[in-house]
């Protein structure tokens, strides 16, 4: 990926746009002077050497590729003509056909990073339209590899499902952590001790999965087979409907993504 590539990020002042900017600069995928970022109210001061603008059409005209990082609800009135350039959406629910038509291009990519992009640990599924070429794909891979890990998936339905599963980022582990901490505190554990214990469990587990590459089902089965305290907890959680609750939650997120696409 050439330093000469000019990248524009609509919504570059937001948390996700900002995380992508940092990843691009950290990996040397583009030089600061070749980045154009837009903002809505007050110009940020944290990133040096980039070009800031409130004019999104100016951003598109100055760039070779445009990343759209705004709230899905704010996207319909965003009338920017990219004149056939590569446009990459990081918005939930916005369909490829709508993205391409709205911005006047046949080179459209739909993707969904998550909040872990801020620490270079996002998982980003993405899919390109028929007009996306191999050079475009290489550029998209490089950017999202810089944010963590990426996969080009087979269909937009896959993106809709993964919007809930991986797009939720730390929300699901945080939900589990909150439930564990509440239980610990209710049993007399000091809140700061409960927080350290739970946080260390989740962070340590993530690093072990990353290092060992084990299948989660194998890890669970190993603990169940040991027939200790962890097995007792797993069996009680399953009996209380843990698997069904996760399945229902992911189904609700999938349906929400589909509904958002129908309204866009």
Q: Residue 141 is encoded by which pair of tokens?
A: 């891979």
**Mean pLDDT in residue range 111-117:** 96
**Mean pLDDT (whole number) for 106-129:** 97
pTM (predicted TM-score): 0.91
Kindly tell me if the per-residue pLDDT of 11 is higher than 80. Answer: yes
Q: What is the pLDDT of residues 175-202, one digit of tens each?
A: 999 999 999 999 999 999 999 999 999 9
Instruction: Evaluate if residue 211 carries a pLDDT over 70.
Output: yes
Residue 18 confidence (pLDDT) above 90 = yes
pLDDT of residue 3: 56
Q: Give the residue, 212 or 248, on which the prediction is more confident.
A: 248
8 Å CB contact between 66 and 86:
yes
User: Distance (Å, rounded) from C-alpha 183 to C-alpha 96?
Assistant: 44
What confidence tier does 46 reach under pLDDT thresholds 50, 70, 90? Answer: confident
User: What was the pLDDT predicted at 264?
Assistant: 57
The more confidently predicted of residues 195 and 212 is 195
The predicted structure's pLDDT at residue 42: 84
pLDDT tens by residue, 120-148:
999 999 999 999 999 999 999 999 999 99
Shortest CA distance to 102 belongs to which of 127, 129, 62, 136? 129
Helices (H), the chain: 15-27, 56-62, 96-103, 134-147, 156-165, 171-186, 191-212, 216-226, 229-239, 242-263
Residue 263 reports pLDDT greater than 70: no
Q: Each residue of 135-149: b (16+ CB within 10 Å) or e? A: ebeebbbbbbebbbe
| Confidence check: pLDDT of 152 > 60 | yes
Helix (H) or strand (E) holding 35: strand 35-38
Residue 31 has what DSSP assignment?
-
**Structural domains present in the chain:** 7-165 (3.40.50.720), 171-263 (1.10.3730.10)
Position of tokens 């399953």?
A: 238
Q: How confident is the model at residue 2 (pLDDT cuts 50, 70, 90)?
A: low
Mean pLDDT score of the chain: 95
pLDDT in tens, 54-79: 999 999 999 999 999 999 999 999 99
Which pLDDT score, from 0 to 100, does residue 261 have? 73
């Amino acid at each position: 990926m050439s330093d000469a590539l000019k990248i524009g990020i609509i919504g570059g002042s937001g948390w996700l746009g900002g995380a992508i900017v940092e990843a691009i600069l950290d990996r040397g995928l583009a030089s600061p002077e070749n980045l154009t970022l837009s903002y809505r109210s007050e110009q940020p001061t944290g990133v040096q050497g980039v070009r800031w603008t409130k004019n999104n059409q100016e951003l598109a005209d100055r760039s070779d590729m445009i990343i759209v990082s705004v709230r899905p609800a704010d996207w319909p009135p965003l009338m920017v003509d990219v004149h056939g350039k590569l446009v990459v959406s990081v918005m939930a629910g916005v369909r490829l056909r709508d993205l391409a038509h709205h911005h006047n291009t046949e080179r459209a990519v739909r993707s969904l990073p998550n909040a872990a992009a801020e620490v270079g640990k996002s998982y980003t599924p993405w899919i390109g339209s028929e007009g996306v070429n191999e050079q475009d794909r290489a550029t998209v891979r490089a950017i999202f590899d810089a944010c963590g890990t990426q996969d080009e998936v087979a269909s937009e339905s896959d993106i809709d499902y993964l919007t809930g599963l991986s797009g939720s980022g730390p929300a699901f582990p945080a939900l589990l952590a909150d439930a564990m901490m509440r239980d610990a505190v209710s049993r007399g554990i000091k809140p700061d001790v409960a927080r350290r214990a739970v946080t260390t469990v989740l962070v340590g587990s993530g690093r072990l999965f990353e290092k060992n590459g084990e299948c989660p089902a194998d890890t669970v089965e190993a603990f169940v087979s040991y027939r200790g305290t962890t097995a007792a907890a797993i069996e009680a959680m399953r009996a209380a409907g843990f698997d069904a609750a996760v399945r229902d939650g992911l189904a609700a997120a999938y349906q929400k993504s589909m509904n958002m696409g129908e309204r866009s």
